Structure 1
Amino acid sequence: MKDLFDPIWVEDVNRRILRLGPESERQWGSMTVAQTLAHCTSGIDMATGIINPRRASFPAPLIGRLVKPLVFRDDTPMRRNSPSSPELFSGDPAKCELESERSRLSAAIGSFASRGPACCSRSPHPFFGPLSPQQWAILMYKHIDHHLRQFGV
């Protein structure tokens, strides 16, 4: 499985992040490239416990527990327009600048990868519930990959 504890996939993701530019065309969704990078950084912040989103309201946690084994069984990418916690979205699009968000995300990925399993949150994921460090690393890879594919990289 691809995950952000594996240096090969960290390098792959960082290389793809560098290919994003203001001209990168969105395939789905409504966020700009910079907003998307900020959103991905917030995902890493959730995985490390910096952000602790509220549990999703019923029936989402029940559905999350049912689909969790499917998400973590293989490298199948996340679906387009997958739901996300509101806490992971930047409130003001005007505050998102591409180069600074790119740097922030690359630094967050580097920190997550170098610190390894010990950095992972012990708080449950708002949709999937409790995750092991390895599951956090897989989910972070899938989340960032999902958004890089959103912009064709």
Structure 2
Amino acid sequence: MKSLFETEALNEIRTRLGSLSENSEKQWGKMTSGQMMHHCQLPLNVILEKENYNLKPNWFVKTFFKKAMYSDKPWRKNLPTVKQFKETTPRDFTTEKQHLEQLLIEFEAQREREDWKPHPSFGELTKEQWGKMQYKHLDHHFRQFKV
């Protein structure tokens, strides 16, 4: 699995984000492209320590889902999400795209950092696991909108 800490993977995500439009065709799910981009900001806010969204440690999640978050296997369509990350509010496409682009810039600025705090739900993650999880989440939702 690619990692968002890798220059090539980050550039790929940026290119795919650039090709996303308000009219990108949704393949599954209920979110609009604007809602999806807002949703994609939330895990980036967690790793950048801007928010933790009241995510709680959960032994069930740690035991059964943690490895799936950063494994090489792509996530399946229509995976459930935690209630804090569910997106039902209408979102402006342009604004959300700009915010997501800005978070990717901030993420890139942190790429040499080694001291990552534990994930609020999954606990301790290595830098490699954090990077794979971030890439995998963005890839999942960009595939949702065929980009």
For structure 1, the 5+ residue unaligned runs are: none
RMSD of Structure 2 on Structure 1 (CA)? 2.3
Alignment map for 1:104-143 (pairs within 5 Å): 104-116=99-111, 118=113, 121-126=116-121, 128-143=122-137
Q: Deviations over 1:130-149 (max 9, x none)?
A: 22222111101000000000
The one-letter code of the counterpart of 1:118 is R
TM (normalized to structure 1)?
0.82
8 Å contact kept, 1:22–1:98: yes
Separation in structure 2 between the aligned mates of residue 111 and residue 134 of structure 1, nearest angstrom: 17
8 Å contact kept, 1:48–1:120: no
8 Å contact kept, 2:56–2:120: no
* TM-aligned CA deviation for residue 56 of structure 1: 5.4
Separation in structure 2 between the aligned mates of residue 91 and residue 103 of structure 1, nearest angstrom: 19
For structure 2, the 5+ residue unaligned runs are: none
TM (normalized to structure 2)?
0.85
Corresponding residue SS for 1:118: coil
Classify 1:138/1:85 alpha carbon distance in 2 versus 1 (closer, same or farther; 3 Å).
Answer: same
The one-letter code of the counterpart of 1:4 is L
Matching residue of 1:61? 59
Separation in structure 2 between the aligned mates of residue 63 and residue 43 of structure 1, nearest angstrom: 16
- Name the % identity: 29
* TM-aligned CA deviation for residue 71 of structure 1: 4.2
